Amino acid sequence: MAEKPRVAIFDFTGCEGCELNQLNFEDQLLDILAHVDIVEWREAMDDRAAEYDIAFVEGSLSTPDCITRINDIRRRTKVLVALGACAVQGGINGMKNTQAIEEVREEVYGEDKYLFPTLPALALHEVVKVDYNVRGCPMTQIEFLKLFTSLVMGKQPIEPDHAVCVDCKLKENECVYERGMICLGPVTRAGCDAQCPSVGQYCTGCRGLVTNPNLSGMEEILVEHGLSVDEAWKRLELYNANDLEGAR
Ligand code: SF4
Ligand code: SF4
Ligand code: SF4
């Protein structure tokens, strides 16, 4: 029998919600553990390893130390998977990049700001090669399981690149715009099975943008539904500030 893949899990700047979501697999966790050797995972064990077949990495990169560490992880792993919005597209941490960095440091650390070196929050792909993404905030469990199964079986995972609206329509949900809400489904990448609109909530764009999103059309819809242009862009930037830099 072939050796099991050595898997390591790392975290950078984020809330660790994506890692917790992995521990929440309940029914599938034992099956997952049967197919891999977890060799490093700070949140669940003390062991360390020199090399890995697959590294799952949560969080964005926001300090000089993060840059050193992600380069080291990239060097040690065959496959690197970005886990969750912070890692895939900078996520909610990217909002920091829309402010003057010195003002952010002062606001958070006050006169101790020089003790805490900081950088603009970067997605992993902005620093190292990322092989695959598991999107969402927290990461979408069904997408993680599909990717995990593909990697263990040696198959090429498929990443969706159509809008949440497509899946939402296929599920015959009532559009939340009909109920006076605003929703970023038209420009947001599917793969969550239109999770939020399926329970009557609007999409906040946590899975990132589709390729070539119609941003002017999205802005027009948001403004038609009562937001100012500035509010519309702030809404779009919530999870996607890095990808939208210079797009206004
Ligand atoms: S993507 Fe969301 S849940 Fe995951 S670490 Fe970032 S903030 Fe937390
Ligand atoms: S609820 Fe949102 S995702 Fe669903 S169709 Fe309307 S705009 Fe699209
Ligand atoms: S519907 Fe939108 S906000 Fe909700 S999980 Fe999917 S991408 Fe994220």
pTM: predicted TM-score of the whole model, two decimal places: 0.93
Q: Say how many Å lie between the CA of residue 240 and the centre of ligand 1.
A: 13
Ligand (nearest to CA of 200): 2
Residue nearest to atom 8 of ligand 1 (CA): 15
Tell me which residue of 31, 56, 213, 68 sits closest to 138, measured CA to CA: 56
Digit-coded pLDDT (tens) for 17-29: 898 877 777 677 7
- Over residues 55-79, mean pLDDT: 96
Inform me whether the pLDDT recorded for 100 exceeds 70. yes
Most ligand 2 atoms within 8 A of CB, residue of 167, 171, 177, 214 to mutate: 177
- Domains in the chain (CATH in brackets) are 6-153 (3.40.50.700), 164-240 (no CATH)
Q: Indicate if ligand 1 lies below 6 Å from the C-beta of 14.
A: yes
Residue nearest to atom 2 of ligand 3 (CA): 203
Confidence of residue 2 (pLDDT cuts 50, 70, 90): low
Long-range contact pairs involving 64-70 (C-beta distance under 8 Å, separation at least 24): 64/117, 64/119, 66/12, 66/13, 66/119, 67/119, 67/127, 69/10, 69/12, 70/12, 70/124, 70/127, 70/128
Q: Indicate if ligand 1 lies below 6 Å from the C-beta of 86.
A: yes
pLDDT of residue 1: 44
Digit-coded pLDDT (tens) for 198-224: 999 999 999 999 999 999 999 999 999
